[in-house]
Amino acid sequence: MEYPSIGTSDLKLSAITFGAWAAGGWMWGGNEEKDAIQAIRAAYDHGVTSIDTAPAYGQGASERIVGKAIRELPRDKVQILTKYGLRWDTTKGVFHFKSKDNQGQDINMHKYAGREGIIKEVEDSLRLLGTDYIDLYQIHWPDTSTPIAETMDTVSDLIRQGKVRHAGVCNYDATQMEEAAKHINLVSDQVPYSMIKRGIEKELVPYCIENRKSILAYSPMERGVLSGKIHPGHVFAAGDHRAGLFYFKDENLTRIQRFLDSIQPIADEKGVSLSQLVLRWTLAQPGITVLLCGARNATQAISNAKAIELSLSESEVSSITEHLNELRLNPDA
């Protein structure tokens, strides 16, 4: 495993970090707690020491499961990343979207990162995670109803209190990051990035490289579509949010599969899975520091961790990119 430094801080994360959204079940058609715990522990045994979660993932379920999974692990060898500012239990802030919790009850998600909200959330997270500090605390989504200064000043207070070690953001653009950095030592931005979703390359990546901020890429497998295991006609479990997404429409699944078939020979030559090849290419892109990889079970977690063992030459990365550039998928079309 590789352990890059995050931003200019002394925080080091595993290059493959365990993404625990699906562990909470919410929007993924449910979960098996036992499998999620085994996946986290298997990942740790293979060098994945960092775990990313959030209160919203199962409305506390993911954080609780992560807490159980790491209970017997040495705390100083595990890096906990969690978030704040995506609420289902208040109408403050900005309405984000309608959803259902794991019990099928309607909930409304709001983006809210006011001072008193953050103070409540950090205490809830510490309790559920069973720890007295969070290694990287990140705003989940920009909250336009709260000044960035108020949000970041509050997190600065939490750092001084020892409850938080480092501050990051999620889903911020370069302008928002620049404003946040005036109020706190911001080390990272967690954003969606994959072979077929590369919009951040235009502005955010250059900003982060120039200002020495790390990019934590979430959904590098584009919610599983780049594994090559989801084909036209696939039926998702009830509550699985992927069913209506652009990339999972039959015509796009067909086009994506055509691309994956074109790079399959490289995976075969290397003796790795297609998923491992996809992950390694993604990590090789400029400005990308860490990949957040979800896993439903220990087998998937181990496969993700072993992607780091793959070595790709510059020419191999370029060859994959050439095939990719022929795909031309536009989710905004």
Q: Which of 23, 56, 29, 59 is nearest to 41 (CA)?
A: 23
Query: Which pLDDT tens digit goes with each residue over 216-260?
Result: 999 999 888 898 777 777 777 777 777 777 788 888 888 889 999
CATH superfamily of this structure's domain 16-229+275-310: NADP-dependent oxidoreductase domain (3.20.20.100)
> Known catalytic residue: 112?
no
Six-digit token string for 53: 């979660």
Specify which residues 17 forms β-bridges with: 292
Specify which residues 137 forms β-bridges with: 82, 167
Query: Which pLDDT tens digit goes with each residue over 108-156?
Result: 999 999 999 999 999 999 999 999 999 999 999 999 999 999 999 999 9
Q: Pick the catalytic residue: 3, 44, 57, 137?
A: 57
Query: Which pLDDT tens digit goes with each residue over 273-329?
Result: 999 999 999 999 999 999 999 988 999 999 999 999 999 999 999 999 998 988 777
Q: What pLDDT band is residue 26 in, cutting at 50, 70 and 90?
A: low
How far is the C-alpha of 159 from the C-alpha of 140, rounded, in Å? 18
**Using CB atoms within 10 A of its CB, is residue 219 exposed (0-12), middle (13-18) or buried (19+)?**
buried
Query: Which pLDDT tens digit goes with each residue over 52-80?
Result: 999 999 899 999 999 999 998 999 999 99
Mean pLDDT, residues 176-182 taken together: 97
Q: Where is 190: in which H helix or E strand?
A: strand 186-192
DSSP 8-state secondary structure symbol assigned to residue 24: G
